[in-house]
A = this chain, B = another copy of it.
Amino acid sequence: MFTDLTEAELRTYRSDLHEPPDFDAFWADTLAQARSCGDPVTATPLPTPLTAVDVFDVTFPGFAGQPIRAWLRVPRGATEPLPTIVQYVGYGGGRGHALENLLWSAAGFAHLQMDTRGQGSGWSRGDTPDVAAAGPQAPGMATRGIEDPNKYYYRRFLTDAVRAVDAACELPAVDPDRLAVLGHSQGGAAALAAAALAPRVRAAVAHVPFLCDIPRAITITDATPYREIRDYLAVHRDREEQALRTLGYVDAVAFARRATVPARFSVALMDEITPPSTVYAAYHDYRGDKDLTVWRFNGHEAGAIDDDAAAVDFLRTVLGG
């Protein structure tokens, strides 16, 4: 069943999110700091049985220069820098197995799939730890460090996302002038952040993005990961204001208001995990050219392979094939 407002209401819904006044300074400082440290990017060829794709095990400096893992997949035999997709994955997963997720490279893109710090033990595996003091928190990542914007998990994760773009631009297979970011759910939030914060990004794909219009989201769904924030506030009853302040620095509606590259969104009207109105909130405030595909009968899987196929077409058009 539809899980949110009516279709007519969705078409006009606007978020009343007020991001913190120092939002831009916060991110400028965070990124400057991240860029000031860490080891250089490395990309080690990985032996695989694949004959059509080369895979590289990449490590790059993320938040605070901490090492972040990624897979780089490149069509075998490419002779010059390629249009490139930097992909961020959904909540609970990691970069997965080297042999998974071959669509993008098989379609002719260089494909950098970023691992997700601390996650990667759910629907797909990861290899990157999250280094931090983790205050009292609900199980999961959504409330880790929520007491302070500087300590919050998603500050680190989104910084990694921006630095992944930086790292991609250093890889020989990548044409840094034809680079896009892409993700589903948590990955979609990262794509919106990178589109706003990383100048090298030329296009963004955000399928059912998470972290949009969070103050509303946490009151209209019981599903994880928004549920984690609700569970935290159900115990730490005196920290609502503090938590919402922190969340204001990572709300993808704020990133949408700052991004100007062409973007493709999707939304699913039976989505219980990222409720449709929250996706519309980001879409409506997005500053660049934009398109939204509405899946009326899907849950959080949204368009799945149909979203991916459309993304390939969209990115080919924007980046050139």
Interface flag for A11 (CB, 8 Å) = no
Is the pair B219, A125 in contact by a Cβ cutoff of 8 Å?
Answer: no
Q: Flag if B231 contacts A303 (CB, 8 Å).
A: no
The reply to whether B140 and A134 contact each other, CB–CB distance below 8 Å, is: no
Cβ–Cβ < 8 Å partners of A137 in chain B: 118-119, 121
Contact A49 B135 (CB under 8 A): no
Minimum CB–CB distance for A244 against chain B, Å: 11
Kindly list chain B residues whose C-beta atoms are within 8 Å of the C-beta of A301: 234
**Is A296 an interface residue when CB atoms closer than 8 A count as contact?**
yes
Question: Is B312's CB under 8 angstroms from A49's CB?
Answer: yes
* 16 chain-A/chain-B pairs, Cβ below 8 angstroms: A49-B316, A50-B106, A50-B107, A97-B306, A99-B305, A119-B136, A121-B137, A122-B231, A125-B235, A125-B236, A129-B136, A130-B133, A219-B269, A234-B297, A237-B298, A237-B303
Across the interface, name the chain B residue whose C-beta is closest to A309.
B99
Contact of A121 among B123, B236, B270 (CB under 8 A): B236
- Contacts A99-B308, A121-B235 given; indicate if A53 touches B139 (C-beta within 8 A): no
Known: A125-B236, A128-B135, A219-B269. 15 other contacts (CB 8 A): A1-B219, A49-B321, A50-B106, A52-B76, A52-B106, A94-B136, A99-B103, A100-B103, A102-B106, A120-B136, A125-B235, A131-B134, A139-B140, A237-B295, A237-B298
User: Contacts A122-B138, A235-B124 known; A1 to B131 CB distance under 8 Å?
Assistant: no
A316-B48 Cα distance, complex, nearest whole Å: 12
Binding site for B on A (CB under 8 A): 1-2, 49-53, 75-76, 92, 94, 96-97, 99-100, 102-103, 105-108, 118-141, 143, 218-222, 230-238, 240, 269-270, 295-299, 301, 303, 305-306, 308-309, 312-313, 316, 321
Q: CA A224 – CA B130 in complex, angstroms?
A: 22
Q: Do B2 and A220 touch across chains, with their CB atoms under 8 A apart?
A: yes
Contact of A125 among B107, B126, B136 (CB under 8 A): B136
- Interchain nearest-CB distance for A248 vs B (Å): 17
Tell me how far the C-beta of A276 lies from the nearest C-beta in chain B, rounded to whole angstroms: 12
* A295 to chain B: closest residue by CB: B237
Residues in B with CB closer than 8 Å to A131 are: 132-134
In contact, A298 and B51 (Cβ under 8 angstroms):
no
**B residues in contact with A238, CB < 8 Å:** 306
Q: Report the separation of the CA atoms of residues A128 and B135 in the bound assembly, to the nearest whole angstrom.
A: 6
CB–CB B96/A121 < 8 A: no
Specify which chain B residues have a CB less than 8 angstroms from the CB of A75 in the assembled complex: 51-52
Contacts of A52 in B (CB 8 A): 52-53, 75-76, 105-108
For A315, the closest partner residue in chain B by CB is B49
Residue A232 contacts which of B50, B121, B321 (CB distance < 8 angstroms)? B121
Which B residue's beta carbon lies closest to that of A146? B121
Nearest CB to that of A100 among chain B residues? B305
**A183 smallest CB distance to B (angstroms):** 18
What is the CA–CA distance of A133 and B130 in the complex, to the nearest angstrom? 5
Let me know if B76 and A219 touch, CB within 8 A.
Answer: no
Task: Report B-chain residues with C-beta under 8 Å of the C-beta of A297.
Answer: 218, 230, 233-234, 237, 240
